[in-house]
């Protein structure tokens, strides 16, 4: 495994070039501010009248429609939501400079061939392993969030070096940059968010809560136990893995964990995880997500409503309102 650090970066491969950042949300704002502080000239591309235009202007950036912003840029970072990137690429392609670098923060559109870039372009990935506000805060503190780097198309022979220089500009080489491929980044990212991080964890919480409530316990007590306290455990896992979690919970909690956990999450769960992974690998998930998006998100909106109207949400809102420190 190769880990690139600051000494491996060659910022000179990007020096003097304009960087166009398309999108000014979580990642876009953090990248743009960090790149500017690293000495790059940055121009922001956004739809006229879009929600984040004022934000970018207040931060002192020139904001242009995407097709204008990319003119003259040596590197274009595509940091809009994944589902609008194919249309966005079609809009900007005629104005892309020959041999420019097209950079993504997630491999979805390239990996599933939703964007098929011109052959003269370098196509690279720099995926920070954290949300944008962390990318910004760590940079300001003189540190950096680790990133993944990949190359899908190397037209100039310099694609990897240019991607690494960009990672260096956002602070990524301070945290370390790891080689991957568009396929690996995309498939592992989707798998993680679906089975463990967003999908798996929230389902586990809701089912734990529901089991206690159905058995007659007070919803408020069930909420504290199954939702609120997740953070305590996740912080321990994040800081020191299973070892630190075991170090800080009670002996009884440890015994319960070791003997009962695998009764709930078991081989059946692994089988289901493999099915989810297969849908990701063979493109089924991507195909479904694109057609859901194009149909106007009917199923997505229905499921979201169901989630937000569930009992755990109502109970949680009231309880969180009394915990002032959660509001900061």
Choose among ligand NAD, Mg ion, none what residue 185 binds, the Cβ cut-off being 5 to 8 Å by kind: none
> Residue 22 binds which entry of ligand NAD, Mg ion, none, with Cβ cut-offs from 5 to 8 Å by kind?
ligand NAD
Catalytic residue chosen out of the listed positions 31, 106, 228, 268: 106
Smallest separation, CB 106 to Mg ion (Å): 7
Rounded CA separation 135/169 (Å) = 11
In the complex, what is the shortest distance from the CB of residue 80 to Mg ion, in angstroms, rounded to a whole number?
Answer: 15
The C-alpha angle 181, 186, 190, rounded to 5 degrees, equals 150
Q: How far is the CB of 195 from Mg ion (least distance, A)?
A: 12
3-state secondary structure of 131: coil
Q: Footprint of ligand NAD on this chain (CB under 6 A)?
A: 22-28, 46-47, 50-52, 66, 79-82, 84, 88, 105-106, 127-128, 131-132
* Residues binding Mg ion (CB under 5 A): 189, 193
* 48-55 contacts at long range (C-beta below 8 A, 24 or more positions apart): 52/23, 52/24, 52/25, 52/28, 53/24, 55/24, 55/29
> What single DSSP character describes residue 144?
-
Counting Cα atoms < 13 Å in the Cβ hemisphere of 315 gives 18
Residue (26 or 173) nearer to Mg ion, CB: 26
Task: Indicate the residue among 14 and 92 with the shorter CB distance to ligand NAD.
Answer: 92
Is position 106 annotated as part of the catalytic site?
yes
Q: How many CB atoms lie within 10 A of CB 297?
A: 13
Contact 121, 153 (CB under 8 A): yes
Q: What are phi and psi of 125, to 5 degrees?
A: -125, 130
Q: Which two tokens stand for residue 227?
A: 């939702």
Between 44 and 312, name the residue whose CB sits nearer to ligand NAD: 44
Distances (CA, A) of 3 to 35, 146, 169, 238: 21, 10, 17, 21
Which one, 168 or 187, has the nearer CB to Mg ion?
Answer: 187
> From the CB of 189, what's the least distance to Mg ion, in Å?
4
In the chain the first and final C-alpha atoms are separated, in Å, by 39
Contacted by 193, from ligand NAD, Mg ion, none: CB < 5 to 8 Å by type? Mg ion
Q: Which does 23 bind (CB under 5 to 8 A by kind): ligand NAD, Mg ion, none?
A: ligand NAD
Whichever of 127 and 227 has its CB closer to ligand NAD, that residue is: 127
Q: CA distances (Å), 33 to each of 26, 43, 146, in order?
A: 12, 11, 17
Closest approach of ligand NAD to the CB of residue 134, in Å: 8
The residues annotated as belonging to the active site are: 106
């Amino acid at each position: 495994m190769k880990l690139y650090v600051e000494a491996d970066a060659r910022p000179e491969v990007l020096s003097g070039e304009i960087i166009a950042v398309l999108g000014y949300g979580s990642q876009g704002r953090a990248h743009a501010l960090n790149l500017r502080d690293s000495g790059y000239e940055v121009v922001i591309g956004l739809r006229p009248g879009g929600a984040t235009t004022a934000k970018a202007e207040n931060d002192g950036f020139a904001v242009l429609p995407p097709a204008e912003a990319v003119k003259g840029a040596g590197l274009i970072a595509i940091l809009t939501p994944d589902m609008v990137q194919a249309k966005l690429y079609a809009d900007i392609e005629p104005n892309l400079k020959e041999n420019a670098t097209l950079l993504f923060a997630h491999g979805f559109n390239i990996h599933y061939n939703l964007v098929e870039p011109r052959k003269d372009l370098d196509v690279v990935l720099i995926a920070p392993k954290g949300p944008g506000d962390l990318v910004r805060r760590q940079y300001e503190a003189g540190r950096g969030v680790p990133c993944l780097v990949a190359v899908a198309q190397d037209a100039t022979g310099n694609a990897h070096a240019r991607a690494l220089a960009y990672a260096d500009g956002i602070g990524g080489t301070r945290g370390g940059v790891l080689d991957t491929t568009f396929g690996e980044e995309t498939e592992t990212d989707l798998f993680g968010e679906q089975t463990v991080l967003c999908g798996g964890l929230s389902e586990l919480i809701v089912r734990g809560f529901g089991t206690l409530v159905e058995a007659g316990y007070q919803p408020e007590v069930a909420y504290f136990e199954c939702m609120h306290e997740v953070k305590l455990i996740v912080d321990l896992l994040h800081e020191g893995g299973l070892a630190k979690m075991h170090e800080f919970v009670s002996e009884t909690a440890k015994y319960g964990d070791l003997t009962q956990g695998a009764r709930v999450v078991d081989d059946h769960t692994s089988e289901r995880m493999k099915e989810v992974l297969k849908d990701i690998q063979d493109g089924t998930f991507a195909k479904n997500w694109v057609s859901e998006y194009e149909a106007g998100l009917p199923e997505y909106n229905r499921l979201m409503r169901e989630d937000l109207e569930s009992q755990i949400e109502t109970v949680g809102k009231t309880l969180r309102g009394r915990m002032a420190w959660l509001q900061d």
